[in-house]
Amino acid sequence: MKKDIQIPEVTDLEMAVVYEYNDIYKTDDWNVYIINNKKVDLEMMVIVSQGFSETKTTSLLRKKLDKLPANSFAKIEFIQPELFVLNNRFQVSFFEGNTLHEKTFFFKENTVKQGALRMIDEIKKRGILAE
């Protein structure tokens, strides 16, 4: 029966940690963005995030987006720099049409840092793309 299940490959979806200025609090913050490079809208998106190492695990955070339009992006959450010493996992589930898709993104420990920032054209900000 397992051989009959078709799990679609997710393409044209990216996740980034972006370093940007916060106009409200007058601070430089790290934020997580999801980027939809598809030509179709994605619906009922659920993102579950967690930081972990061999000795530590953070609480699960969940975020829901009703719709992420084609060729767009959305800010998901603020991320504290203290979490960059951990592996950070983001599990994304969504519907594309009538089909459920799932993809997991990772930011490995100590890879999110100012020296690794590069321009992310889709959002026109400097950040780091997930693996």
What would the pLDDT profile of 76-109 be if each residue is shown by its tens digit?
999 999 999 999 999 999 999 999 999 999 999 9
Kindly state the tokens that stand for 121: 């054209």
Q: Is the pLDDT of residue 112 over 70?
A: yes
According to DSSP, the residues that pair with 1 across neighbouring strands are none
pTM for this entry: 0.93
- Residue pair 34/74 in contact (Cβ under 8 Å)? The answer is yes
pLDDT band of residue 8 (cuts 50, 70, 90) is confident
